[in-house]
A and B are shown apart, each in its own frame.
Chain A
Amino acid sequence: MIKRDALLKPLPLVSIAILSIPIFVGYLWVFMRTFTTRMYGMSPVGELTLRNWTFIVTDPLLWHLTLNTFVLAMGLTVGIVLVSCSAAYPLSRMSFPGRKGFLALTLVLHAFPSVVLLIAIFVVLNYLSRVPLIGRGLPLIGGVGYNTLGGVILVSIAFLLPLGVWLMKGFFDNISWDLERAALIDGCSRFRTWRQILVPQIRPGIAALGIFAFMHGWSSFIIPYTFMVDQQTAVISTYLNLLASGEQLMDYGVVSAVALFQLVPILAFYVFTQKYLLTIFGGGMKGGT
């Protein structure tokens, strides 16, 4: 009996370790491959080298794409935080006609498969392109129409919005009513209460949503891939896709380096912000569990 128990005890640990092997192997391979000239399976062949890295970091296109990716991620982060915080406040703490309907809508959109709307959104963006001034020709983001960074940011914000609003509403729900009442009595308008008293209280939520949005924007693929056709305006994801599925023989080393180049900031981010992120993955679904 004792022997059987002793055998069984490490079983959970062993089994999860085995199940996780593909993940470890994948990341390890990419990491190793960027520093070698060739690898057969998991074994490096040939000497260690920094050639892959020097090749990509001296490529001006990649830096341009990095800037684009950063702008996309930042735009999404700032946009989603602002719009969600603003919309979540009245949904959580004001009574007005249609509140219930708007909340229900947010919840429905939360589960709604927005990616199947891309064809229609293509039409919308095309239309927006023809709007003077904002459609095209804005600095940095290019505008908000088709084939602009701004358009991609806007669509990304839209897709993330139900989650953002729902999450922020949860955070607003938890603020004490007395705090807001005190502010109103001290002389704040509700707008001022929101900005000066409530928003500072939900900083953890803003951080969580912001981090999540940044990671989301940094890795996003399908929206830029669909709505940005020029390489000039594309992001690292689309570039990596181009490299990895190219017709010509792919250079595994370079592809790995680009992949890792995109992955490292996210991983670093992830390690430092894991605690917050868990609240978002779980928290967005709050009420469901």
Chain B
Amino acid sequence: MKDSEARSGTALTQAPQFPRRLNTGPAWFWFLLPAGVITLVFFFAPVIITLVISATNMSTITGLTRWEWVGFGNYERLLSLPQTVRRFWITLRYVLFTLVFFNVGMALLIALITTHIPRQLGTFFRAVWLLPRITPVVAYVFMWQIMAAAPPHGVITSNILEPLGGPTGNLLPANAFLFIVLVNGFIGASFGMIIFTSAIESIRQDIMVASLVDGASKLQRIRYIILPQIRWPLLFVTTYQTLSLLTSYEQILVLTGGRWGTEVWALWAFNVGLDDYYGFFQYGLGAAIAAVLVIMGILFALLYMRYFRFNELLHEPRIDVL
């Protein structure tokens, strides 16, 4: 590289190669295109379509072509239906019970226990509690159907109730509400469990030790150190899971299909719009029922924007090249 002088001497003649630029548009556009199209087609359009369909009488009879506008007709029908109030209360009870006892309560309990027993056992039990979430829903619900089944097959009936002389027969119809709470609860607990566990484990170790040195018992430490420290995750899980429960119906659909007083709002929309037993799908009415949840979803989602402390998550890019 002794020719450096010569090189810099000729540099002037080399330098003015102005960047040739193919007219392909900025890179970010192409990177975002697939996600953008999918978002447009499967989120934006459906939200609008839901609202539009809810103003029509579209059903399997009218098909997708011969429908008519009914304005707020579907919503008025909703208000006049006697089921509406019943569905509303069922949904509310279902969300409340599952949330309190499992998605938050059980989740917190398991997170606390698994962080207070030997590490490997804690990991093991958390893995066990994650199982329901990763198990295919039909297989999972099938297990619960077995639990509830009539003797001699059912586990609860033949192993617990029969020896005690309790009621026998399939438990599901009579206790359907209890079972939808249990089925959803055992899945729902794991979400909070993981968030809480990581929150507890990220509490500074010196504080944890200091509190014990100060003479707190383990229970007092939970009360005065841990719970105040995970206040924010608690709030987050509560709100997030409220929305999830409001709009989830997969497990209920498989377990009862909505029979025996378990047709929650979201399932109702599904059943009316897409899963009628006799094949009479009322898209219009179903969309109106769903629209109520869509609106709620949007409101909740906006709420998260505040909770998530969005601006803190935003790092300014430190490269200007496009």
Please determine if A and B sit in direct contact within the complex, based on CB atoms under 8 angstroms apart: yes
Our pick among B182, B236, B320 for the contact of A95 (Cβ within 8 Å) is B320
Contact A95:B155 (CB < 8 A) given known A30-B143, A122-B274, A226-B274 = no
Is there an interface contact between A181 and B319, defined as CB atoms closer than 8 Å? Answer: yes
- B-side contacts of A222, CB under 8 Å: 137, 250, 253
A20/B53 in contact, CB under 8 A = no
A120/B46 contact (C-beta < 8 A), A30-B143, A86-B35, A165-B35 known: yes
Interface presence of A107 (CB below 8 A): yes
Whether A120 contacts B142 by the Cβ 8 Å rule is no
- A13 interfacial contact with B, CB 8 Å: yes
Check: A7 CB closer than 8 A to any chain B CB: no
Interchain CB contact under 8 A, B314 and A103: yes
**A126 neighbours in B (Cβ, 8 Å):** 64
CA distance A91 to B247 in the complex (A): 29
Tell me whether A287 and B308 are in contact (CB under 8 A): yes
A48 contacts the other chain (CB 8 A): no
Distance between B20 CB and nearest chain A CB, rounded to angstroms: 13
* In the complex, B11 has a CB within 8 A of chain A: no
Which listed residue, B159, B195, B304, touches A282 by the CB 8 Å rule? B195
A70 CB–B CB distance under 8 Å: no
Q: Is B298 a contact partner of A157 (Cβ separation < 8 A)?
A: no
B96 within 8 A of A: no
Instruction: Out of A26, A124, A158, A260, name the residue touching B144 (CB < 8 Å).
Output: A26
Asked if residues B35 and A117 are in contact (CB atoms below 8 Å), the reply is no
The answer to whether the Cβ of A58 comes within 8 Å of any Cβ in the partner chain is no
Contacts of B300 in A (CB 8 A): 111
Given the interface pairs A41-B158, A104-B310, A194-B31, the reply to whether A289 lies near B236 with Cβ below 8 Å is yes
Contact B253 A23 (CB under 8 A): no
Spot the interface stretch: B76-84, B86-94, B126-134, B208-216.
B126-134
Binds B, one of A59-67, A134-142, A201-209, A234-242: A234-242
Among B110, B147, B154, B240, the residue within 8 A (CB) of A19 is B110
Contact residues, A1-51 vs B (CB, 8 A): 12-13, 15-16, 19-20, 22-27, 29-30, 33, 39-42, 45
User: In the complex, are the beta carbons of B266 and A184 less than 8 A apart?
Assistant: no
Is A113 an interface residue, CB under 8 A from the partner? yes
Residue pair B143, A12 in contact (C-beta under 8 Å): no
- Contact across chains for B50 and A119 when beta carbons are under 8 A apart: yes
A24-B128, A40-B151, A112-B301 known; A158 vs B42 contact (CB < 8 Å): yes
| Assembly CA distance A218 to B139 (angstroms) | 12
- A240 and B138 within 8 A (CB): yes
Contacts of B53 in A (CB 8 A): 119-120, 123
Shortest beta-carbon distance, A126 to chain B, in Å?
A: 6
B158 and A40 contact, CB distance less than 8 A? yes
Report yes or no: B159 in contact with A259, Cβ–Cβ below 8 A.
no
Known contacts A194-B31, A274-B127, A105 near B143 by CB under 8 Å:
no
Quote the shortest CB–CB distance from A221 to chain B (angstroms): 5
Chain B residues, CB < 8 A from A27: 131, 143
B138 touches A221 (CB 8 A): yes
Q: Chain A, interface size: which category?
A: 35 or more
Contact of A118 among B141, B257, B274, B321 (CB under 8 A): B274
- Contact A29–B146 (Cβ < 8 Å): yes
Give chain A's interface secondary structure class. Answer: helix
Are B266 and A219 neighbours in the complex by a CB distance under 8 Å?
A: no
Contact in complex: B138, A115 (CB < 8 Å): no
Roughly how many angstroms separate A83 CA and B35 CA in the complex, as a whole number? Answer: 6
Most chain B C-beta atoms within 10 Å of own C-beta, residue among A39, A109, A215, A221: A221
Find out whether the CB atom of A25 lies under 8 angstroms from the CB atom of B147: yes
* Contact across chains for A120 and B287 when beta carbons are under 8 A apart: yes
CA distance A157 to B200 in the complex (A): 33
Whether B159 and A244, one on each chain, are in contact in the complex, defined by CB atoms closer than 8 angstroms, is no
The CA-CA distance from A281 to B197 in the complex, in Å, is 12
Given known pairs A40-B158, A219-B136, A219-B137, the reply for A112 and B42 (CB within 8 Å) is no
Q: Of residues 247 to 289 in A, which have CB atoms within 8 Å of B's CB atoms?
A: 252, 255-256, 259-260, 262-263, 266-267, 270, 274, 277-278, 281-282, 285, 287-289
A281 and B194: CB pair below 8 A? yes
Query: Closest CB-CB distance, A151 to chain B, in whole Å?
Result: 11
B318-A177 in contact (CB<8A): yes
B62 / chain A contacts, CB cutoff of 8 Å: none
Beta-carbon contact of A22 and B28 below 8 Å: no
Closest chain B CB from A69 CB (angstroms): 9
Contact with B along A162-201 (1 / 0, CB 8 A): 0001000000010001001100100001110010000000
Give chain B residues whose Cβ lies under 8 Å from the Cβ of A23: 128-129, 131-132, 186
Report yes or no: A90 in contact with B154, Cβ–Cβ below 8 A. no
Q: Is there contact, CB below 8 Å, between A42 and B159? A: yes
Confirm or deny: A133 has a beta carbon within 8 angstroms of a beta carbon on chain B.
Answer: no
**How far apart sit A252 and B149, CA to CA, in the bound complex (Å)?**
11
Q: Tell me, rounded to whole Å, the shortest Cβ–Cβ distance linking A100 to chain B.
A: 6
Return the contact of A237 from the options B114, B136, B244, B309 (Cβ within 8 A): B136
User: A86 — nearest CB in chain B belongs to which residue?
Assistant: B31
- Cβ of B75 within 8 Å of any chain A Cβ, yes or no, is no
| Shortest 6 CB-CB contacts between residues of A and residues of B | A113-B247, A41-B158, A158-B42, A87-B35, A26-B143, A219-B136
Q: A222-B137, A244-B141, A259-B142 are in contact. List 8 more A-B contacts (CB 8 A).
A: A19-B110, A26-B143, A30-B143, A40-B151, A113-B266, A117-B46, A221-B136, A287-B308
19 A-B residue pairs with Cβ-Cβ distance under 8 Å, sorted by A, are: A12-B113, A19-B109, A22-B186, A23-B128, A41-B155, A89-B31, A90-B28, A93-B317, A94-B319, A113-B293, A123-B64, A157-B38, A165-B35, A226-B274, A237-B137, A240-B139, A244-B141, A270-B127, A274-B127
